[in-house]
Structures are given as C-alpha cells and as structure tokens.
C-alpha cells in the first residue's frame, strides 16, 4: 500500500472491480499499482505525514552509540 494525498479529484479502481472517487486534498492508503498511476500523472503526491516514523531496534541504537563513542576518541 502507498500513502498519497490527492491533488486532483479522480476516479480509480483499487481492486479492478469497483470504481471509487478520490477527492482532491484528501489522504488515502492505495494499492501500489493505483498509487503509481496517480503519482506519475501528477494527480497525487506522496503523503509523508501518513508514513510511519522510522524506528530502530535496541541493537541498532547500541551499535550507533558505540560507533559515535569511537569517533570521539
């Protein structure tokens, strides 16, 4: 799934069966194939706000802290 914000109101089919209206200014979580068309045609833009924040596990954080400590020496 891809997160987009519509720039233009357009109709599209998320599943190849039903056709839905996607309203300008609204944010949607779309199937990749539909999002690619909307993005390529300039009818939508990627919605960074809906994207989950990057998370790091404890092992990654510990490794980064060690690397930073080594660089200070």
Asked if residue 14 lies in contact with residue 31, where contact means CB atoms within 8 angstroms, the answer is: yes
> What integer pLDDT is reported at residue 52 of this predicted model?
58
The predicted-structure confidence for 11-61, as pLDDT tens digits, reads as follows 999 999 999 999 999 999 999 999 999 999 999 999 987 555 566 677 777
d(CA 40, CA 10): 13
d(CA 4, CA 14): 13
The boundaries of the domain holding residue 7 are: 2-72
pTM more than 0.85: no
Q: Report how many domains make up the chain.
A: 1
Whether the pLDDT of residue 73 is over 70: the answer is no
């Amino acid at each position: 799934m891809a997160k987009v914000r519509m720039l233009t109101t357009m109709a599209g089919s998320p599943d190849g069966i039903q056709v839905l209206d996607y309203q300008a200014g609204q944010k949607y979580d779309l199937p990749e194939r539909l999002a690619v068309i909307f993005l390529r045609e300039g009818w939508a833009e990627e919605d960074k706000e809906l994207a989950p924040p990057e998370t790091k596990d404890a092992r990654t954080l510990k490794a980064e802290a060690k690397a930073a400590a080594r660089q200070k020496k």
